[in-house]
Amino acid sequence: MIQNLLSWLQSQGLSDPLAPILTTAAAVLVVAILAVIVNFIARNIILRVLSALIQRSSVTWDDEFVSNKVLARLSHLAPAFVIHLLAPTALQLYPSLVSAVRTMVLVYLVIVGLSVFSGTMNAFLAIYERFPISRRVPLKIFVQVLKVVIFCLGGVFILASLIGKSPLVFFSGLGAFTAVLILVFKDTILGFVAGIQIMANNLVQRGDWIEMPKYGVDGDVIDVSLTTVKVQNWDKTIAAVPTYSLISDSFRNWRGMSESGGRRIKRSIALDMTSVKLCDEEMIDRFKGFAHIKGYIEERVAEVDKWNKEHNVDMKVLVNGRRLTNLGTFRAYVLAYLRNHPQIHQDMTLLVRHLAPSAQGLPIEFYVFSKDQAWANYESIQADIVDHLLAVIPLFDLRVFQTPSGSDLSHLAEGFAGARQP
């Protein structure tokens, strides 16, 4: 075709120097027009039809290939193939240009191929993350490592094509650059090793609540990648933590709490030790009116009376024999109250105990688990329990201990001033 066009131009009287140039220019123009037409058909007809068919299909996983633009990237191959196939014909009068054009087209095809590969991997990863197993076995780290390897191989192939050397030349000299590569890809290598350990030991999953005070992290894991772990803190800020730090540093994962079905409540109330005393008859009669401990009081009183009678104890003196105390009765009330609380998990640890007495009084601690793990509901349950206990403590003739405040001291000063007045 080129020779026929050249002969026709020469027959029209064109000089020999101009005829080859115009012939080649016409052929290149035809190839360019064909490439544009093929690109238009691929992008505006074939691509739209395939996208419409995929979106209308009953399955949903194939939509990921559209959203990740896999088909759109594939359409870029069509004009490149046209140029690659027709360039030798269009430039046959200039053989030196054919090699250069084919090299550039080959580089372009490699770049497009890498782009298609990246989009395909993203689509497969998005499909995989739809399944529950993706939380326990995250593949994003391995996909990213595979991308790095393929991109590096693609880069080597592009360089080899541009300089006209075999790719093996680059790989043969790779040993000399090993130290440099290790330094450049240090975070990638550490992240890959950490990813394997995280997956093997099931340390972190998407959706886990983790705490890392060193990095100011306290929230839900939203992404685990090759180099970083993204955490959405409770204040809605996003923190990025190096993946390897989950292996090298300590962190707290609250997944065990979530899977257990309960959330721990551990609080203590300090009591004034000077308010602790033995119970007399009037106090015992009053305590019998408390529904939660009525059975406990009757049982304990019967047990104590039996023991005192068997040992002929003189009950006229309070210190003799066995007696109930207001503090012990209060502990029994707290335990019974928690055992009857509808939001407290009865199948998990539930105890009320003394902590070591100190200058701040005698702490009474309750250690239980709430059924509701939601933060707001958990705090509400915890607050309701503390509110109730603070309100009933005076009914047991006990006092809460707290450090004197400014108002306490001002009342004391007013009392002294009133006492001095005649």
Proportion of the chain above pLDDT 90, given as a percent = 17
Structure tokens, 255: 């997944």
- The arrangement of strands across the sheet holding 263-271 comes to 263-271, 362-370, 351-354
Average pLDDT on 243-262 reads 80
Cross-strand partners of 253: 210
Q: Evaluate whether 81 touches 106 at the Cβ level (below 8 Å).
A: no
- Could you tell me which residues come within 8 angstroms of residue 106 by beta carbon, excluding any fewer than 6 positions away? 84, 161
Torsion (CA) 273, 278, 281, 287 in degrees, nearest 10: 50
201-216 residue pLDDT tens: 778 888 888 888 888 8
Q: Does the pLDDT value for residue 223 go beyond 80?
A: yes
Q: Does the pLDDT value for residue 393 go beyond 90?
A: yes
What is the reported pLDDT for 15?
A: 45
27-86 residue pLDDT tens: 667 777 877 888 788 777 877 777 777 777 777 777 777 777 877 887 877 887 877 777
Q: How far apart are CA 28 and CA 10, in angstroms?
A: 19
Q: Does the pLDDT value for residue 419 go beyond 70?
A: no
Structure tokens, 185: 């890809």
Q: Does the pLDDT value for residue 10 go beyond 50?
A: no
Q: Which of 289, 265, 234 is nearest to 384 (CA)?
A: 265
Helix (H) or strand (E) holding 54: helix 47-56
Q: Evaluate whether 202 touches 131 at the Cβ level (below 8 Å).
A: no
Q: How far apart are CA 58 and CA 69, in angstroms?
A: 20
Q: Which of 44, 31, 101 is nearest to 75 (CA)?
A: 44
Structure tokens, 157: 């192939």
Count of all residues that appear for the chain in the document = 422
Mean pLDDT across the chain: 79
Domains and CATH numbers, the chain: 2-197 (no CATH), 198-257 (2.30.30.60), 263-407 (3.30.70.100)
CA distances from 381 to 228, 255, 293 (A): 36, 21, 22
Structure tokens, 106: 């080959």
CB atoms within 10 A of CB 329: 22
Q: Is the pTM of this model over 0.85?
A: no
160-170 residue pLDDT tens: 777 777 777 66
Q: How far apart are CA 74 and CA 48, in angstroms?
A: 13
